[in-house]
Structure 1
Amino acid sequence: MNKSKKVFSLLTVSLFVLSLSVSASAKEKKKHHEQPKLEFPVISDTQLTVGNETSHRKLEHALQDLYNINHNSDAMVINGDMINDGRAASYEKFRDILNQYPHPDKTFFTIGNHEFFKNDGNEASIGRFLDFTGLDKVYYEKNVKGYPFIFLGTESWGPVDSPTKDSAVLSDAQLNWLNQTLKERSKTKKPIFVFLHQPLPHTFYGTDIDYYKNAVIQDEELKNILSKYPQVIFFSGHMHWDLRFPGMFLQKDFTMVSSGAVYDTWGPDGNGYETVIDPEGSQGLYVKVYDDKVVIKGRDFTNNKWLKEYQHTVDTPK
């Protein structure tokens, strides 16, 4: 090979290597700066009552912190126990705080057990929830930027002192609707977000204690439906258990996510029961959805910081 050909050959190789490096760098930069397709917080168990100023302060602080994270979240979910006593006056106070503090226009609600705590019957309790939310039923579906949000809710509560007090009771009609809705939405590969206040028994850390063994009366039926759809991400509240405990996020046939509690944080008492471990604790979630994954981050509202122990990624097919 003469000298000029050798120089040309070396130059060609150098340019090829440089182009590969630039291409890899561009891809990495694009990946690093990839923007989420959808962002939304999930909170639960604000347990507000009209006379409890601590509950007002904690809700206000959580709303402000979430707004500081992102002024333009696409939606927000409040996953049950928004009020503590089921009374119309507490709903009105909740509405006042929402009107005073920034939050997404698309804010959705599920019914929890405390929405029944006025203890004047299922019909009256559900009626107050529907009046507040403007919904027709405790179960419904919404679409946010092309992603399905499916909301479930108990249709009965109590009686007091029975094993089913505070449990989710899901009718055949609701379960059939869920199954059909999931069947339709699963035709795409997008994640499907499902919300119910109560967690499935024998799943998260703590759900083996007696109180949670009846958390969802139709737990086997619900689990069987959700298990058919691996793209389901199922969010629940109710427990208040600190998100920093292990086992508060599970991936099996579908993904299960605990959303903590805004009002306080709980944990085991060492005797087979549970107890408040931090009366000032206040936690929730922030969710970012990308083309190929969903990132779920735990938030400490009391200290305005992320929970390093609760940083999870759910991979989704493109």
Structure 2
Amino acid sequence: MSKNPIIEFFVISDIQLTVNNKKSHEKLKFALQDIHAINPNPDAIIINGDLISDGRSESYLKLKEILESNAYAKRTFFTIGNHEYFLNDGNQPSIERFLSFANLDQVYYKQVLEDYAFIFLGTESWGPIGAPTKDSAVLSEAQLAWLESALEEHRGSEKPVFVFLHQPIPNTIPATDLEYYQNGIIQSKELIDILSQYPQAIYFSGHSHWDLSLPGTYLRKVFSMVNTGAIYDTYGIGDNGEETVVNAEGSQGLYVQLYKNKVVIKGRDFSKKGWIDLADIAFNGEKELSC
């Protein structure tokens, strides 16, 4: 194995920034500074949904200001989460604000870095408030057809394919067995059917804020799934058996290193500047090590 990674990138999610929430500003700044200290020139940073908390244009402007005033990768890719819809003025206005910020044409797209595919998915609908599917990902038939087409050229390859969606697949990684997450992706069956054709796929999701130090952050089920933690607070199970904030100062993300024959995924605790070893994944999709 080459000592030098082919690609190195970070995955963070759930910044949930607003203009008036100074804590959200400081957590993002601290994470970006730690990322820069680890690797000042990563190949990419992926921000996997819930960039902002309220869906407002001014929050996007503040986010842009913080990103541009702190060292961050020139290639930074974004996915849309549920909080980007929280202004509650309709799907299309919410999507348009996100696309304008991220300089995208649609919420799903593909990038290729060093001949490796990065596929970004995004919910196209939200709400209404009070509905059991309020925070669910809705993937249109067009998006699912696009995903099938985008993956087709990688059929039979052992090269990993990196797939990003804010919401996790129900009944997989931690928290997704809870009632709130049962409708987390309305088209979860269709998504699973597609990804299961590609055992080299690695699916990254946020949304749950689940603390990376808790068991089960990495899961292998035909393809691989990884929890991306959260920049704003980390969650777990409280004494009452319910989901709750377990670390209000918690701020976590992933550092991914792609080598010739495996992918190394490390959890990073930005608040403590410490590592959480997660998994080494061989290119045939078989997990070699999980800590």
- TM above 0.5, yes or no, is yes
Give 1:270 deviation, angstroms.
4.1
Cα-to-partner distance string for 1:140-183 (whole Å, 9 max, x where unaligned): 00111211100000000011111110000000110111011111
Give 1:187 deviation, angstroms.
5.1
**In structure 2, the residue corresponding to 1:58 is in which secondary structure?**
helix
The answer as to whether partners of 2:18 and 2:52 remain within 8 angstroms in 1 is: yes
Structure 1 runs of 4+ off > 6 angstroms?
Answer: none
Amino acid at match of 2:17: L
The answer as to whether partners of 1:209 and 1:272 remain within 8 angstroms in 2 is: no
Q: TM-score, normalised by structure 1?
A: 0.88
The answer as to whether partners of 1:43 and 1:285 remain within 8 angstroms in 2 is: yes
The answer as to whether partners of 2:217 and 2:278 remain within 8 angstroms in 1 is: no
**In structure 2, the residue corresponding to 1:127 is in which secondary structure?**
helix
Equivalent position of 2:200 in the other structure: 231
Give 1:228 deviation, angstroms.
0.6
Equivalent position of 1:281 in the other structure: 250
Give 1:206 deviation, angstroms.
1.4
Give 1:234 deviation, angstroms.
0.3
**In structure 1, the residue corresponding to 2:150 is in which secondary structure?**
helix
Cα-to-partner distance string for 1:77-126 (whole Å, 9 max, x where unaligned): 00000100000000000000011001111100000000000010001100
Cα-to-partner distance string for 1:11-61 (whole Å, 9 max, x where unaligned): xxxxxxxxxxxxxxxxxxxx4x61100000000001100111100000000
The answer as to whether partners of 2:235 and 2:245 remain within 8 angstroms in 1 is: yes
Which of 64, 70, 85 does residue 116 from structure 1 map onto? 85
Equivalent position of 2:288 in the other structure: none
Distance (Å, rounded) in 1 between the aligned partners of 2:284 and 2:261: 6
Equivalent position of 1:316 in the other structure: 283
Note if 1:48 corresponds to 2:32. no
Note if 1:36 corresponds to 2:5. yes
**In structure 2, the residue corresponding to 1:206 is in which secondary structure?**
coil
**In structure 2, the residue corresponding to 1:246 is in which secondary structure?**
coil
The answer as to whether partners of 1:80 and 1:112 remain within 8 angstroms in 2 is: yes
Distance (Å, rounded) in 2 between the aligned partners of 1:174 and 1:273: 34
**In structure 2, the residue corresponding to 1:185 is in which secondary structure?**
coil
Distance (Å, rounded) in 1 between the aligned partners of 2:271 and 2:282: 30
Distance (Å, rounded) in 2 between the aligned partners of 1:46 and 1:145: 28
**In structure 2, the residue corresponding to 1:173 is in which secondary structure?**
helix
Equivalent position of 2:273 in the other structure: 304
Equivalent position of 2:212 in the other structure: 243
Greater helix fraction, Structure 1 or Structure 2: 1
Note if 1:215 corresponds to 2:208. no
Amino acid at match of 1:111: I
The answer as to whether partners of 2:199 and 2:284 remain within 8 angstroms in 1 is: no
Distance (Å, rounded) in 2 between the aligned partners of 1:144 and 1:105: 13
Q: Between the two proteins, what is the percent identity of the paired residues?
A: 57
Note if 1:150 corresponds to 2:150. no
The answer as to whether partners of 2:31 and 2:231 remain within 8 angstroms in 1 is: yes
Q: How does 1:1-318 map to 2 (within 5 A)?
A: 31=1, 34-186=3-155, 188-307=157-276, 310-317=277-284
- Bigger radius of gyration, 1 or 2? 1
Distance (Å, rounded) in 1 between the aligned partners of 2:241 and 2:122: 28
Number of residue pairs aligned between Structure 1 and Structure 2? 285
Distance (Å, rounded) in 2 between the aligned partners of 1:206 and 1:82: 21
Give 1:311 deviation, angstroms.
2.5
Structure 2, unmatched stretches of 5+, are 286-291
The answer as to whether partners of 2:124 and 2:139 remain within 8 angstroms in 1 is: yes
The answer as to whether partners of 2:218 and 2:278 remain within 8 angstroms in 1 is: no
Distance (Å, rounded) in 2 between the aligned partners of 1:86 and 1:194: 24
Q: Which has the higher contact order (CA 8 A, sep 6+)?
A: 2
Cα-to-partner distance string for 1:277-312 (whole Å, 9 max, x where unaligned): 1100000000000010000000000011112xx321
Give 1:188 deviation, angstroms.
3.5
**In structure 1, the residue corresponding to 2:106 is in which secondary structure?**
coil
